[in-house]
Amino acid sequence: MNDFLEFFVPCFVTLSIFLIIFGFAAFMRYMRYKETVALAERGLLRQKKEKNGKESLRWGIIIVFLGMALCAGVYPIGFLFEEPPPFYLGPWILVGLLPMFFGFALIVIYALSQKQTNPDEEDD
């Protein structure tokens, strides 16, 4: 009975957390759909937001710092081994490196997609 609780309770809690998160996302999407339909019935259109590309910069910075925090959080795992890996780094560090480099990619996309203007051309 104890083995049952040790295995299924963490699985149930983890599954419940994911269901709550994705259920809320699905509910919000459904509510947005209903709002769009209600506006369409009245002959109105949803306002489109002006996009200047700063969203990718914001998300890139957030994801980079999240990756750094994950790297710092899983780094001590290397100290648990009798024969530690080089620099105490192992495959667990990928948990932080993957989002960190994804965030760097978003920042690079923002930097490369910005329109390069010449200061002399702005006067025209």
* pLDDT tens readout for residues 24-63: 999 999 999 999 999 999 998 888 877 777 888 999 999 9
Q: Does 26 map to a domain?
A: yes
What is the predicted pLDDT for the residue at 45?
A: 87
Same domain membership, residue 54 and residue 25: no
Q: Does 123 map to a domain?
A: no
Same domain membership, residue 99 and residue 54: yes
Q: Does 73 map to a domain?
A: yes
pLDDT tens-digit series, residues 62-110: 999 999 999 999 999 888 888 888 888 889 899 999 999 999 999 999 9
| Residues of the domain holding 29 | 1-48
Angle of helix 94-113 relative to helix 54-74, nearest 10 degrees, comes to: 160
Same domain membership, residue 54 and residue 38: no
| Distance of alpha carbon 28 from alpha carbon 14, whole angstroms | 21
Q: Does 72 map to a domain?
A: yes
Asked if residue 117 has pLDDT above 60, the reply is no
| Distance of alpha carbon 40 from alpha carbon 1, whole angstroms | 56
